[in-house]
Each structure stands twice: as structure tokens, then as C-alpha cells.
Structure 1
Amino acid sequence: MPDKFMFLTFDHAEVPMGALVRGGHSWRYVEYPTTYPWFHVALIEFDGAEHRSTTFYVYDLTDLIELADSTEHQLQIERVLLVSPGHLNGTGNWQMDELIEIAKVGLEGRSSLVYRLRDGRVLFEDERARTADASQIQVVFVSPVSPSMLGPTDQAAKR
């Protein structure tokens, strides 16, 4: 199996799209066959004077960064939610939380991710990252934040 895929689909679950979306496919359901976190990305797609809301499900951090940095497509990220498995968020269940930033922490020749959430929690891919010093931490993604998304405490801090 490829190492970078998100959903597993089945022919019997495919819904014919006809000519509505050329090259597109639609399914009644999909399988997520892994326990890695992923990103629910709310976007605005601009098409001239028109715009519409859409959602991308992004599996890989590299793809999320590429999407955020892209100027080719008329897309603007509104909000990024981290969809985390129970072993990462500590609840034992999947959970979706608003993401503020992602950092990489160097640990013994490899890197580990740290997720900072809107509610103040910090999730560590590897618990050893909790004790990393500042020189080992590199912020690699910062989620865009509109003023309407800021709480009273955040708005006061921005002034």
C-alpha cells in the first residue's frame, strides 16, 4: 500500500456523478484505515466575484503547508481543525479541535510534531517533546485566525 493515502474506497459504495463533475468521484462512505491525525480544512474558494465555502480533508502536514502557501488556486483557509485519535488527545476517542499551530521538535535524530489547540491544550506526538528546549522547536504551520474567531482574551492580547 502507498504510504501517503487517506481514505480507502470501494466500488460498491461509489455514487455515479455523471457529467456533473468531470473526473470526480463520489462515495456513500469511505474507510479511514489508520489511527494517525488528519486535518479538516475549511476554505473559501473564490471564482471572480463569486465565492463558496468548501472543506478539504488533508492527511499530511506537507500537503497542509502547501495548501496554505498556494497562490495558484483561489483558495483561502478559514479554519483548520485537528482530527486526533484517542491515543494522541488522551480521551480514548477521536476528537476534532481547532488548531492554532504545529511545531516540529528534534528528538534524537528524528522529529516529532506538537499541536497547539485553540482551547489551550497542547498535544504531543511523542511525550519526550514536552521537555524539549526552545532550540529544538520549530513552528512549521500557523493557522489563520480571523478576528471573529478570537475570544475576549485573545482579542485583548491582539490590541
Structure 2
Amino acid sequence: MFRTIDSDLIGVPGMFGEGVSNWRGVSRLLRTPWYHLTLSVEHQGRHSECAVMIDDTRQLQEILVSQGSDLGITEIMAVTPSWMNKTGGWQMERLTRLSVGEDRIGSEVCVLEVGEGEVYHTSHQPDFQIEALANVRPVFLSSMIRSA
């Protein structure tokens, strides 16, 4: 999850629309993956691009389903912590596939396929095997992306 600090608030809440606030920065407490989406938005005949940062697969599904003539996802990047990507730091890579399944104790595990075919998962079990997941269901496939 992302969190905000009141002193990072810019302007007055709602000045750019009901329920909308602008922030100089956000922070994260957990070292878990999140997603950076680039959206193509049409409003009153004008096209613009915006970025959305989310850390929830259900919210990602909602945005994927809500695509239409006025809203389309043009890119999804997965941002993964070092324990997950096995490097010295955070990495941002193009997401090509995201699936969710249940491990042997019934906990939800996300499986991310990125960039050049690397596969990451959110399990912390030392002997975890992706093939052992039950009830695996796709959340995202690269074919769900609009052509830019």
C-alpha cells in the first residue's frame, strides 16, 4: 500500500475534481511488488496520458475490465523488491503476464512474468514451487494492452 503525508499535499483537496488530491510524494512501508500503469485517457475529444500506481491485483483487474473507448492501458510495469527479483535493489520491468493461485496452506501467491521471460513470485516459503499452486487464474496477459 502507498501512504501519504499531509505536508506533501499540494493545493486544496477536490480542486481538480471530487475526491481528488495532489501529492508531492507517496511512501511504502512494505517490500512488496506494485504496478505502474500508463493510461490513455480521452475526455471531451482530447487524448492525454497519465500514470497510475497500484499494489493490488484486484484493482488491476478492475482497471483492465474498465477499458473502453475513453480509457485504455498502454503499458504495465511491475516494480519488484530485491528479495523477489534476486538483485541488489528494486527493479521496474514490463509485465507480460500475472497469475494468482493458492499455495499448500491456502495463501494467495502472485506469479509475475516480466521483460525477458523472468518469473517472480510473492511466496516466502523456502521450498515453494510454482507448479504446486492450486486454483491458478490469470489476472493479466500482455494481449490486454492496447497498441500505443
TM over 0.5: yes
Amino acid at match of 1:124: H
Question: Which region of structure 1 is more displaced relative to structure 2, 52-61 or 12-21?
Answer: 12-21
Contact 2:73 2:145 in 1 (8 A): no
Matched with 1:114 is 111
Instruction: Tell me which structure has the larger Cα radius of gyration.
Output: 1
Q: Percent of aligned positions with the same letter in both sequences?
A: 25
Higher RCO (Cα < 8 Å, 6 or more apart): 2
Q: Distance in 2 between matches of 1:105 and 1:25?
A: 35
Select 1:80's aligned residue among 57, 60, 76. Answer: 76
Q: Distance in 1 between matches of 2:83 and 2:21?
A: 32
Query: Cα–Cα, structure 1 residues 117 and 50, in superposed 2: closer, same or farther, change >3 Å?
Result: same
Query: Cα–Cα, structure 1 residues 61 and 36, in superposed 2: closer, same or farther, change >3 Å?
Result: same
Matched with 1:140 is 139
Q: Distance in 1 between matches of 2:42 and 2:59?
A: 20
Please state how far the C-alpha of 1:137 moved relative to its aligned partner: 3.5
Matched with 2:27 is 31
RMSD: 2.6
1:36-59 deviation line (CA, Å, top 9, x unaligned) = 111000010012432101111011
Task: Compare the two structures and name the one with the higher helix fraction.
Answer: 1
Contact 1:112 1:129 in 2 (8 A): no
Q: Distance in 2 between matches of 1:81 and 1:8?
A: 20
In the alignment, structure 1 residue 61 sits paired with structure 2 residue 57: yes
Please state how far the C-alpha of 1:107 moved relative to its aligned partner: 1.7
Structure 1: runs of 5+ lacking an equivalent: 1-5, 149-159
Matched with 2:120 is 123
Amino acid at match of 2:5: F
Question: Which region of structure 1 is more displaced relative to structure 2, 19-28 or 31-40?
Answer: 19-28
Contact 1:103 1:115 in 2 (8 A): yes
TM-score after normalising by structure 1: 0.76
Matched with 1:10 is 5
Task: Compare the two structures and name the one with the higher strand fraction.
Answer: 2
TM-score after normalising by structure 2: 0.81
Please state how far the C-alpha of 1:110 moved relative to its aligned partner: 2.8
Matched with 1:21 is 16
Structure 2: runs of 5+ lacking an equivalent: none
Matched with 1:97 is 93
